[in-house]
């Protein structure tokens, strides 16, 4: 079989007739619109209402490419959920401003923080995930992943006032449950103990209770692993069992310092 024939067979048999770039472009433009990142495009209320209707029409067209079921109803349900999602995102931004000493304003958080962008895309994708919309939720969160290095599966359940600092390298698996007022730093993995297809419909990822702080490069694995309320998880720890509320978990490594010139008086001590 020639290569062109193989591609023709693939196009003929594909389940969805989608434009991935259009789906990614939609969420990127919608984020910039609702967080005021467009230059003087909507100074009048009537302009904002017109733009929202344009986005509604465009989303209905995108939805048509992945499902034939109740497209109009699902579009209206999705747009009706926006006020609640937007309120959660405002609380996420407030959590960043309240906890990051480098953050100077809400606008700075919304305009420039990769963690906030990834959370925003996740919250809209999660709404579609709950409605069993195929493809679009994962395309959106993988788009955010490609821009920020933060991988949040749209199936994860994340509470309010969620704070991601720096963000690069964070992985949050599909069945993860995260409570309210949780802070996570770069390189954290909330993953599965093992990955096999027969675990598809089982809880594979940890539960993080309210008020937990997880510092850089910590790895927490397993669907039965629960990190109790207000626990503090230090950097570089590896956890596969539950942790009681209010615990402090840390990795005590050894750093050795010595003089790099052999002829000099040796200076050797450990921290």
CATH number at residue 120: 1.10.3130.10
What pLDDT, on a 0 to 100 scale, did the predictor assign at position 129?
A: 96
Q: Could you give the strand order of the β-sheet that contains 219-221, starting from the edge strand earlier in sequence? A: 151-152, 171-172, 189-191, 219-221, 238-239
- Whether residues 128 and 199 share a domain: the answer is no
In a domain, 5, yes or no: no
What is the number of domains present in the chain?
A: 2
What pLDDT, on a 0 to 100 scale, did the predictor assign at position 154?
A: 98
In a domain, 1, yes or no: no
In a domain, 100, yes or no: yes
What pLDDT, on a 0 to 100 scale, did the predictor assign at position 32?
A: 92
What pLDDT, on a 0 to 100 scale, did the predictor assign at position 15?
A: 85
- Whether residues 16 and 145 share a domain: the answer is yes
- Whether residues 204 and 119 share a domain: the answer is no
| Residues whose CB is less than 8 angstroms from the CB of residue 49 and which lie 6 or more positions away in sequence, other chains included | none
In a domain, 261, yes or no: no
What pLDDT, on a 0 to 100 scale, did the predictor assign at position 164?
A: 96
- Whether residues 92 and 63 share a domain: the answer is yes
What pLDDT, on a 0 to 100 scale, did the predictor assign at position 263?
A: 67
Backbone torsions φ then ψ of 206, nearest 5 degrees: -70, 170
- Whether residues 56 and 169 share a domain: the answer is no
pTM: 0.89
What pLDDT, on a 0 to 100 scale, did the predictor assign at position 40?
A: 65
Q: Where are the beta strands (DSSP E) in the chain?
A: 151-152, 157-158, 163-164, 171-172, 177-178, 183-184, 189-191, 207-208, 213-214, 219-221, 226-227, 232-233, 238-239, 248-249, 256-257, 269-270
Could you write out the DSSP letters of every residue in 239-255? E-S-B-TT-EE------
Count of positions (residues) in the chain: 271
- Whether residues 167 and 39 share a domain: the answer is no
CATH of the domain at 177: 2.160.10.10
Give dist(CA 103, CA 165) in Å, integer: 10
Give dist(CA 200, CA 123) in Å, integer: 22
Pair 251, 237: CB distance under 8 Å: yes
**φ/ψ bin of 169: left (φ > 0), alpha (ψ from -120 to 50), beta (otherwise):** left
- Whether residues 137 and 239 share a domain: the answer is no
- Whether residues 143 and 17 share a domain: the answer is yes
In a domain, 265, yes or no: no
Pick from 91, 124, 150: which residue ends a domain?
A: 150
In a domain, 270, yes or no: no
- Whether residues 17 and 119 share a domain: the answer is yes
Pair 234, 215: CB distance under 8 Å: yes
- Whether residues 18 and 142 share a domain: the answer is yes
Backbone torsions φ then ψ of 163, nearest 5 degrees: -125, 115
- Whether residues 108 and 161 share a domain: the answer is no
In a domain, 268, yes or no: no
- Whether residues 76 and 169 share a domain: the answer is no
Question: What residue numbers bound the domain in which 238 lies?
Answer: 156-250
What are the per-10-residue average pLDDT scores of the chain (271 residues)?
89 87 96 83 82 93 85 87 95 96 94 96 97 94 97 98 96 98 98 85 95 97 97 96 96 82 61 52
In a domain, 44, yes or no: yes
Q: First vs last Cα of the chain: how many Å apart? A: 65
């Amino acid at each position: 079989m020639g290569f062109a024939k193989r591609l023709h067979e693939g196009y003929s048999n594909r389940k969805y007739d989608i434009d991935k770039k259009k789906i990614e472009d939609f969420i990127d433009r919608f984020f910039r619109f609702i967080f005021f990142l467009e230059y003087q495009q909507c100074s009048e209320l009537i302009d904002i209402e017109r733009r929202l209707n344009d986005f509604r029409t465009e989303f209905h067209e995108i939805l048509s490419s992945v499902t034939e079921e109740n497209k109009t109803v699902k579009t209206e349900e999705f747009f009706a959920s926006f006020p609640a999602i937007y309120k959660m995102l405002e609380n996420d931004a407030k959590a960043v401003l309240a906890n990051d000493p480098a953050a100077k304003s809400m606008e700075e958080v919304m305009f420039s923080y990769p963690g906030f962008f990834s959370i925003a895309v996740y919250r809209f994708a999660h709404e579609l995930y709950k409605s069993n919309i195929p493809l679009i939720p994962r395309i959106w969160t993988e788009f955010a992943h490609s821009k920020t290095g933060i991988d949040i599966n749209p199936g994860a359940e994340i509470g309010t006032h969620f704070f991601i600092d720096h963000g690069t390298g964070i992985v949050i698996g599909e069945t993860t449950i995260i409570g309210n007022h949780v802070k996570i730093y770069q390189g954290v993995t909330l993953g599965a103990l093992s990955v096999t297809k027969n675990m598809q419909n089982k809880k594979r990822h940890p539960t993080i209770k309210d008020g937990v702080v997880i510092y850089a490069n910590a790895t927490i694995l397993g669907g039965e692993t629960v990190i109790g309320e207000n626990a503090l998880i230090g950097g570089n720890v590896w956890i596969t069992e539950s942790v009681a509320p209010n615990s402090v978990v840390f990795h005590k490594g050894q750093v050795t310092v010595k003089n790099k010139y052999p002829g000099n008086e040796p200076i050797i001590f450990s921290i």
